[in-house]
Amino acid sequence: MKINLGEVVKNTREYLGLTRKRPIREVYDKLILHGVSGPQLPNYGDDAAVIPFKDEYLLLAADGIMTKLLQNEPYAAGKASVMVTVNDIYSMGGRPMALVNVLASGDDGQRSKVIDGIKKGCEKLNVPMVGGHLHPDAPADAPALSVAILGRARKLLRSHLAKPGDDLVFAADLSGQAGCSSVTSWDANSGKTTEELLHRLEALPLIAEQEWACACKDVSNAGLLGTLSIMMENSGIGAMIHLNSIPCPAPLTLPEWLLSFQSFGFILSVRPAFSTKIIDLFNERAIEAAVVGKVLDGHTVTVTSGPESETLFDFERDQITGITCDPGTF
């Protein structure tokens, strides 16, 4: 299939899952960059805060669920709230320990479905929900759900440590189906056992502990190209992405896949000597993985298809989250 690069670039740059991240810089500047000092490591776009503790690291993350998903598919929203936070911990080379939640819903039926979804997510991913807070008087048309998670890691995968010369390895579970109707998504979790789900996820801390990679992000609601570009922005560098090398599930077109939130999808920045080891590790766990690009000097993210190429982002003038680490400092 011929890929229309102009359309891919336009759709990625205008995708709501990506553009809604632009206000992050204002929050970051006020609360993180100039916030209260503490034991945490500097954060340049990580999916979780990193707190050194004894001979390992505690990982602390939180995520919120989009209102329209809560309103239209409350059970799926509950499940997703567990999945997205669990993925945040694994994407940093960690293993989850426990969850807490804040739920606002004044509709008994809606609230019950959300809670059932949370319960199912906890059971499937084997992470306990240990506390939280409920607002039972919230208007039915304005529900809200946020979940926080605590994890631990022996070695870390970060968001800002991609280096020029690294391979970009994309790993995804293609055995699934289109997910929620409220958001563009791919569900590779339903129908799998807890053991199967955890076996897939365990690849990430193993990669971290072997030090085969030092940068990773899970494919969020920004989509594959958006998530990959955020990693480059965080790292203060650029990349070349080969669209024809991206594994894609048969039911979806590549343009659809590039904008899908993935229940199991990760992009890693890897020294070339370890790329085959990482790909083999994922393949052994029924995960498709491939080198889909290269990290480059500069600040431009370019997409290619055959001999054609087009600039996706130029971080000399573009901003997604606005959070960038000076490569010379790490």
With contact defined as beta carbons under 8 Å apart, do 244 and 280 qualify? no
Comparison of pLDDT for 308 and 179, the residue scoring more: 308
pLDDT exceeds 90 at position 184: no
Q: Centre a 10 Å sphere on the Cβ of residue 274 and count the other Cβ atoms it contains.
A: 19
Write down all domains in the chain, each with its CATH number in brackets.
5-20+157-329 (3.90.650.10), 39-153 (3.30.1330.10)
With contact defined as beta carbons under 8 Å apart, do 151 and 96 qualify? yes
Residues with Cβ < 8 Å from 181, sequence gap 6 or more? 72, 73
Q: What is the pLDDT of residue 218?
A: 97
Cα angle, residue 59 at apex, residues 54 and 63 outer, rounded to 5°: 165
Q: What is the pLDDT of residue 9?
A: 96
With contact defined as beta carbons under 8 Å apart, do 90 and 201 qualify? yes
Q: Give per-residue pLDDT as tens, 54-81.
A: 999 999 999 999 999 999 999 999 999 9
What residues form DSSP beta bridges with 103?
A: 134, 145
Half-sphere exposure of 317 (CA within 13 A, CB side): 3
pLDDT exceeds 60 at position 163: yes
For CA atoms 289, 217, 127, 191, give the dihedral sign.
negative
Q: Centre a 10 Å sphere on the Cβ of residue 124 and count the other Cβ atoms it contains.
A: 20
Comparison of pLDDT for 140 and 307, the residue scoring more: 307
pLDDT exceeds 80 at position 33: no
Cα angle, residue 26 at apex, residues 159 and 45 outer, rounded to 5°: 5
Average pLDDT for residues 281-310, to the nearest whole number? 97
Average pLDDT for residues 315-319, to the nearest whole number? 96
With contact defined as beta carbons under 8 Å apart, do 31 and 129 qualify? no
Residues 203 and 210: their CA atoms lie apart, in Å, by 11
Q: Give per-residue pLDDT as tens, 247-274.
A: 999 989 999 999 999 999 999 999 999 9
Q: Give per-residue pLDDT as tens, 89-120.
A: 999 999 999 999 999 999 999 999 999 999 99
pLDDT exceeds 90 at position 328: no
Q: What is the pLDDT of residue 182?
A: 78
What percent of the chain is modeled with pLDDT above 70?
98
What residues form DSSP beta bridges with 192?
A: none
Q: What is the pLDDT of residue 1?
A: 63
pLDDT exceeds 90 at position 169: yes
Strands 129-135 and 95-104: parallel
Residues 17 and 261: their CA atoms lie apart, in Å, by 9
